[in-house]
Amino acid sequence: MPHPLARVAELAARAAVSAPIEGRVLYAGLRALAVPQEPVARLWHAATLL
**What does the pLDDT read at residue 4?**
85
What pLDDT, on the 0 to 100 scale, is given for residue 2? 80
Residues spanned by the domain of 39: 6-49
> Where is pLDDT greater, at 1 or 25?
25
Whether residue 1 lies inside any domain: the answer is no
pTM, two decimal places: 0.83
Select from 17, 15, 6 the least CA-distant residue to 41.
Answer: 6
> Considering the domain boundaries, does residue 34 fall inside one?
yes
3-34 pLDDT per residue, tens: 888 999 999 999 999 999 999 999 999 999 99
- Count of domains observed in the chain: 1
Q: What are phi and psi of 33, to 5 degrees?
A: -75, 150
